[in-house]
Amino acid sequence: MHNPFELPGSFLKGNLHTHTTNSDGKFTPQQAVDHYRKAGYDFLAITDHGRLTPGDGLDTDGLILLPGMELHPGTGELGQTHHLVAIGMETQIDVPRDVTLQAGLDAIVPCSRFTFIAHPYWTSLTYRDLQGLSGPIGLEVFNSTCEYGIGRGDSAVHWDELLARGERLLGFAVDDAHCHYPDTLGGWIMVKTEDGSAEGILEAIAAGSFYASRGPSIEGVTLGDKQVTVRCSPCRAVHVICPSAGCGMTTYQLAPNGGPYTQVTLPLSPDWNPIRVECLDESGRKAWTNPFWRD
């Protein structure tokens, strides 16, 4: 996969998972648009359950709206309903709940630009539920409402287990906002693109040209055979994560008391593959790059 930090263009901020009064959210579609636009977001997907909420008639005032839905095909190993976020469809997608997850993906993927797995930790998905699926481009590494609601918003362990088993999945941070308690503006992606239109954003996301965050900014990642240099907003630690057993590096090995760091170079072993970078700020919030496959 290419390195988005080395591509031309600008970073645009957006949330790909939001609910409104058209399903089980508290905000109307217009209130959701106003909320994210006033917070400085560049794009938003309204992803109501089982329903495509149209953007026609909404006053976006420059906010790019991406069509989206959350769909629920089948149940997992522990009996829980699956949740999938689909983005970029032209018409509403209707998928029965009594089909397998793969059958649901087979119906959803051809009708959308991309699909990812929602909140696997919150949903108590097992690796048997997730491994070997055909169709999703990634999963939610962080979900704001799951974190603020029940403390189960971080699904990095699910992500790393799948990466270790050879799955090439991207990591998304989202709000999944329902607005019944403060769950907005807590997770987003930063998309690198030269084309700030809806089409340009969709194309860049599908290509993996983004990073995820719930706070820190990642300004640059330069990857070599034996080291990686990371530039970021002030952070107390930077982690190089490799899903292989016992592999990886953190700045705590260099300075046990931590940063703040705005640029740091960490050593790599040539056999760490893939790797991804996490930046941790003073408030404990993270940003996540997508995996770099070194092949």
The three-state (H, E, C) secondary structure of the chain, written as one string: CCCHHHCCCEEEEEECCECCCCCCCCCCHHHHHHHHHHCCCCEEEECCECCCCCCCCCCCCCCEEEEEEEECCCECCCCCECCEEEECCCCCCCCCCCCCHHHHHHHHHHHCCEEEECCCCCCCCCHHHHCCCCCCCEEEEEEHHHHHHHCCCECHHHHHHHHHCCCCCEEEEECCECCCCCCCCCCEEEEEECCCCHHHHHHHHHCCCEEEECCCCEEEEEECCCEEEEEEEEECEEEEECCCCCCEEEHHHCCCCCCCEEEEEEECCCCCCCEEEEEECCCCCEEECCCECCC
Tell me the two tokens of residue 216: 């820190």
Q: Which pLDDT belongs to residue 17?
A: 98
Q: Which pLDDT belongs to residue 18?
A: 98
Q: Which pLDDT belongs to residue 294?
A: 87
- For the stretch 164-186, pLDDT in tens is 999 999 999 999 999 999 999 99
d(CA 18, CA 219): 26
Q: How large is the average pLDDT for residues 190-214?
A: 98
Say yes or no: domain 218-288 is CATH 2.60.40: yes
Q: Which pLDDT belongs to residue 1?
A: 60
Q: What angle do CA 192, 196, 202 make, to 5 degrees?
A: 70
d(CA 230, CA 245): 23
6 φ/ψ angles, rounded to the nearest 5 degrees = -100, 0
- Are both 4-212 and 218-288 of the same fold? no
Q: How large is the average pLDDT for residues 110-124?
A: 98
205 φ/ψ angles, rounded to the nearest 5 degrees = -65, -45
CA 43 vs. chain centroid, Å, equals 14
- Looking at per-residue pLDDT, the higher value among 256 and 272 belongs to 272
Residue 124 has pLDDT above 90, yes or no: yes
Beta bridge partners of 172: 140
Q: Which pLDDT belongs to residue 63?
A: 98
Residue 249 has pLDDT above 90, yes or no: yes
Residue 2 has pLDDT above 90, yes or no: no
Q: Given the DSSP bridges, would you call strands 276-280 and 248-250 parallel, antiparallel or unpaired?
A: unpaired
Selected from 3.40.630.10, 3.40.50.300, 3.20.20.140, 3.40.1180.10, the CATH number assigned to the domain covering 4-212 reads 3.20.20.140
Alpha-carbon dihedral 123, 124, 126, 131, rounded to 10 degrees: 20
Radius of gyration of the chain (CA): 18
Domain ranges of the chain: 4-212, 218-288
The model carries a pTM of 0.97
